[in-house]
Amino acid sequence: MTRAPTCAILAGGLGTRLRSVLRTRPKVMAILNGRPFLEYLILQAKMAGMSEILLLTGHLSGQISDHFGDGSDLGVKIRYSIEEAPLGTAGSVRNGMTQIESDNFVLMNGDTFCNVNLKAFVADHAQSNAEITLVVHEVEDCSAFGRVEVSEDKQILEFLEKGMTSGRGLVNAGIYCIKRDVLPSIPNDKPVSMEHQVLPRYAGVSLRAYPSEAAFFDIGTPASLRRARRKIPRLLEAARLEKQAARHKKTHQS
């Protein structure tokens, strides 16, 4: 039986634009309907069959580990990789490499949520020859995110930075499926950005897009956090009930 991928979540962000709202809490611990935002990402991974969670922490990491512990309360196994100094999004993953044992792993940004079918996403990556597959989502105005240029056969060709582009376009939804053998090529002695230094190296060669029309949220600003608070809890509850109904139907048919 194929091993389910580890789900690594970037949870070390400073959340400077949310300081007025969060004060002394890490960004991933922003509360939505009584739960930290990070908990919704963990539950999304769990519902997709991923029970091994690696939290890549740094800023105020103690608050995160004190809340989640070993993950048993959520029915998952949580491990932690703590960076002593900021290592960037790729450097943080490289720092936790020894705790990733699956051949492919899912990486999530800790400040975005995309209600994509993670099982289908992982299966799509496994069937391709790509080193990295990235969920992309179409938005009305990509100026706040940067644009991802994708070919007709779903190869990612180029990334355009924030401020360099505007209008309708595809954006990085913050969910990746990555072959573990990518990690040793990332330097482990300095900060490295996934978006600026790793992904462009594979663009046009072995970097695949997985387009998704699923609801997409980020919590980078007070306004976007308010929107996420209204929508995300309902989405996950609906997904939970749908999965429960499917199990019930399957039981009665067998």
Share of the chain above pLDDT 90, in %: 67
pLDDT for 23 beyond 80: no
pLDDT band with cut points at 50, 70 and 90 for residue 120: very high
Q: What was the pLDDT predicted at 249?
A: 62
Q: What was the pLDDT predicted at 87?
A: 93
Per-residue pLDDT tens for 58-80? Answer: 888 999 999 999 999 999 999 99
Query: Which amino acid would we find at residue 46?
Result: K
Q: Is the dihedral of CA 244, 105, 147, 193 positive or negative?
A: positive
Instruction: State the CB neighbour count (10 A cutoff) for residue 179.
Output: 18
Least reliable range by pLDDT among 196-200, 208-212, 217-221, 243-247: 243-247
Strand 31-32 to 112-114 pairing: unpaired
Q: What was the pLDDT predicted at 222?
A: 87
Per-residue pLDDT tens for 227-244? Answer: 999 999 888 887 777 766
Residue by residue, DSSP assigns the chain as -PPPPEEEEEE----GGGHHHHTTS-GGG-EETTEEHHHHHHHHHHHTT--EEEEEE-TTHHHHHHHHTTSGGGTSEEEEEE-SS--HHHHHHHHTGGG--SSEEEEEETTEEE---HHHHHHHHHHS--SEEEEEEEES-GGGT-EEEE-TTSBEEEEE-TTS--SSEEEEEEEEEEEGGGGGGS-SSS---IIIIIHHHHTTTTEEEEEE-S-EEE-SSHHHHHHHHHHHHHHHHHHHHHHHHHHHHHHHH-
Least reliable range by pLDDT among 10-19, 131-140, 155-164: 10-19
Count CA within 13 A, CB hemisphere, residue 114: 24
Averaged pLDDT for residues 5-20? 80
Averaged pLDDT for residues 105-109? 97
Higher per-residue confidence, 18 vs 198: 198
Q: CA-to-CA distance for 1 and 182, rounded, in angstroms?
A: 23
pLDDT for 170 beyond 70: yes
pLDDT band with cut points at 50, 70 and 90 for residue 19: low
pLDDT for 2 beyond 70: no
Least reliable range by pLDDT among 16-20, 73-77, 183-187, 202-206: 16-20
Q: What was the pLDDT predicted at 18?
A: 67
Query: Under CATH, to which class is 6-135+172-253 assigned?
Result: alpha beta
Q: CA-to-CA distance for 2 and 102, rounded, in angstroms?
A: 9
Q: What was the pLDDT predicted at 13?
A: 74
Instruction: State the CB neighbour count (10 A cutoff) for residue 162.
Output: 13
